[in-house]
Structure 1
């Protein structure tokens, strides 16, 4: 494939069908995908990296590739990989469009789960080919990720005419493409975040409760139980697996075990009493609140799937409601919003820390694996 930027000065010669790749953002995602594309035969002609950490990562995963500013990376590349945080992506694309950086026939792909190709509209208006390829995995930013790309699902969003290009790129690096419509990206991203991020919170809550119960190694205690539960639930959601969704009908909820699944209201009451007391002692109000919320969800899904009789479901709901009135006082938590009400955690908006915005917030797992947004091009009011 021969595209406009192919003859850019400083770009190495390429075999037919190979694309010169420019990586914008040598974060954990960008550097790894650049390495994978290089291994597939696409030369990497440049990478942007601002922080020392990202420069070190580029040197390790993309040895010999020049570290350049963003406009130069884009100028040299036939395939531009935008691996930047979600919140920086739109401004990055728009800023490059305003400086005339995008080129006719250039392929521009981003790795954000949140966005489809609409965010690339300024590049598309300049004649670029827009692709949204999101790998559904976490990244360490090391060579360990390369093996994990094999078989990794990628959400691919693109205009119909160029969809095969995105699918082919995913296959070339060993991934498995899944076509996703533009208007489904928000729900897709929320689903991944809900499953992956909140699973981590549940593990942390269970481990804290086990430690308070005197278990020396909560992680070891939880491992066999959680691994079996997760494996069973995922298999039940996979149509291709024996006994999966097509065979069992109810999906992951078919793998549900425990007192809610059995309709054991007495055990649920005992759990709530123990967790409320634990929350009061340890300052962990989120744990009993999560238990109640998820137990109600488990009851509703088990009932809908025909796994729990109506009378047993009613007993479970009564048990969950029996102590709800005590929850805010015991837990010190807003039962509707779920926000912790701890004076130690309160930050005065007038204090220096209060001016930090969300600088200390934990971003989505996929977002935080990209490079610093400073790796994007200068904004319209900044110097190039």
Structure 2
């Protein structure tokens, strides 16, 4: 199984390194930026490739460019060099389906998207975390090589439908990107009451880590703590009143509060508590 990469950003570099560490045959990288290709090749003990090398040598071709460039790069390769029948062409975007690789399919290649549910903010950190990463894939054509690759690296994986990619990626954004945004909101609130510099994160991170650990150990429903799951609508009312001057943050608090009531209903809240909580979030006295 000869593997090549077009694009040597963080995702392509880390995934290539991981494949190499699992004993797979990574031949090298092509990138529009020579320095990036050299870095990818260095990380995987492989070599810098031309696009012609990519199509001549690769059995599995990973297009790991930015999402906006995947279609264009696939079209360029198809037009200038041509994909071969039986090759497997893969992109690793979370939000895009395999159908954007249609030019490769029209030339007889198998096309897939393969996505690691992981944040790649830092290469070294991503290397540590990828061994525990969950993968999803979908595509059109013979799945043999993709399944073989996933079995060799040993990570858990699931096949999904191409039409579900946007919803799948929305879930990823909420759990990762929006977690950062929510943390920033909490930091801003603490800064407004006098916390300075790195103090807000020192206060919040232990709580956040404990919550993540509880979700992992207990599941989402049982990990929920706080005033809503206790039915303490008076505390919730005070929160809303204190956030009135922070208009947008107050709206976010209410929207998330309504969703939290739905989750809390799965616990031991009484009908009266649920009704009172919903009325508080709707602005009733």
TM-score, structure 1 as length reference: 0.67
The yes-or-no answer on 1:192 pairing with 2:172 is: yes
- Structure number with the higher helix fraction is 2
Q: Which residue of 2 aligns with 1:309?
A: 270
Q: Which residue of 2 aligns with 1:269?
A: 237
The yes-or-no answer on 1:288 pairing with 2:269 is: no
Q: Which residue of 1 aligns with 2:29?
A: 47
Gaps of 5+ in 1: 1-18, 238-251, 280-284, 325-384
After superposing the two structures, state which structure 1 stretch, 49-58 or 122-131, moved more: 49-58
What's the CA shift string for 1:85-134, capped at 9, x where partnerless? 22222232233223342111212111111233322222122111222211
The yes-or-no answer on 1:253 pairing with 2:214 is: no
Q: Which residue of 2 aligns with 1:343?
A: none
What's the CA shift for 1:28? 0.2
What's the CA shift for 1:204? 0.7
Any conservation in 2 of the 1:272–1:323 contact (CA below 8 Å)? no
Q: Where do residues 236-247 of structure 1 align in structure 2 (5 Å cutoff)? A: 236-237=218-219
What's the CA shift for 1:61? 1.3
Q: Which residue of 2 aligns with 1:210?
A: 190
> Using a 3 Å threshold, how does the CA distance of structure 1 residues 143 and 296 change in structure 2: closer, same or farther?
closer
Task: Please identify runs of 4+ aligned residues in structure 1 that moved more than 6 A.
Answer: none
Q: Where do residues 55-70 of structure 1 align in structure 2 (5 Å cutoff)? A: 55=37, 57-58=39-40, 60-66=42-48, 68-70=49-51
Q: Which residue of 1 aligns with 2:143?
A: 163
In the alignment, the residues of structure 1 paired with residue 122 and residue 108 of structure 2 have an alpha-carbon distance, to the nearest angstrom, of 32
What's the CA shift for 1:188? 1.1
The yes-or-no answer on 1:182 pairing with 2:162 is: yes
Gaps of 5+ in 2: none
What's the CA shift for 1:228? 1.8
> Using a 3 Å threshold, how does the CA distance of structure 1 residues 100 and 57 change in structure 2: closer, same or farther?
closer
Q: Which residue of 2 aligns with 1:25?
A: 7
Indicate the RMSD between aligned Cα atoms, in angstroms.
Answer: 2.5
Any conservation in 2 of the 1:152–1:174 contact (CA below 8 Å)? no
Count of matched residue pairs:
283
What's the CA shift for 1:230? 2.1
The yes-or-no answer on 1:115 pairing with 2:77 is: no
Q: Highest CA radius of gyration, 1 or 2?
A: 1
Q: Which residue of 1 aligns with 2:214?
A: 232
> Using a 3 Å threshold, how does the CA distance of structure 1 residues 204 and 53 change in structure 2: closer, same or farther?
farther
Any conservation in 1 of the 2:99–2:139 contact (CA below 8 Å)? no
By relative contact order (CA 8 Å, sep 6+), the higher-ranking structure is 1
What's the CA shift for 1:192? 0.8
Any conservation in 2 of the 1:158–1:166 contact (CA below 8 Å)? no
What's the CA shift string for 1:194-242, capped at 9, x where partnerless? 11111111111111111222234111111221112222234444xxxxx
What's the CA shift for 1:26? 0.3
TM-score, structure 2 as length reference: 0.88
Q: Where do residues 74-153 of structure 1 align in structure 2 (5 Å cutoff)? A: 74-140=55-121, 142-153=123-134
SS at match of 1:150: helix
Of 296, 310, 321, the residue aligned with 2:282 is: 321
SS at match of 1:162: coil
In the alignment, the residues of structure 2 paired with residue 84 and residue 64 of structure 1 have an alpha-carbon distance, to the nearest angstrom, of 18
In the alignment, the residues of structure 1 paired with residue 225 and residue 144 of structure 2 have an alpha-carbon distance, to the nearest angstrom, of 43
SS at match of 1:149: helix
In the alignment, the residues of structure 1 paired with residue 56 and residue 262 of structure 2 have an alpha-carbon distance, to the nearest angstrom, of 55
In the alignment, the residues of structure 1 paired with residue 281 and residue 130 of structure 2 have an alpha-carbon distance, to the nearest angstrom, of 43
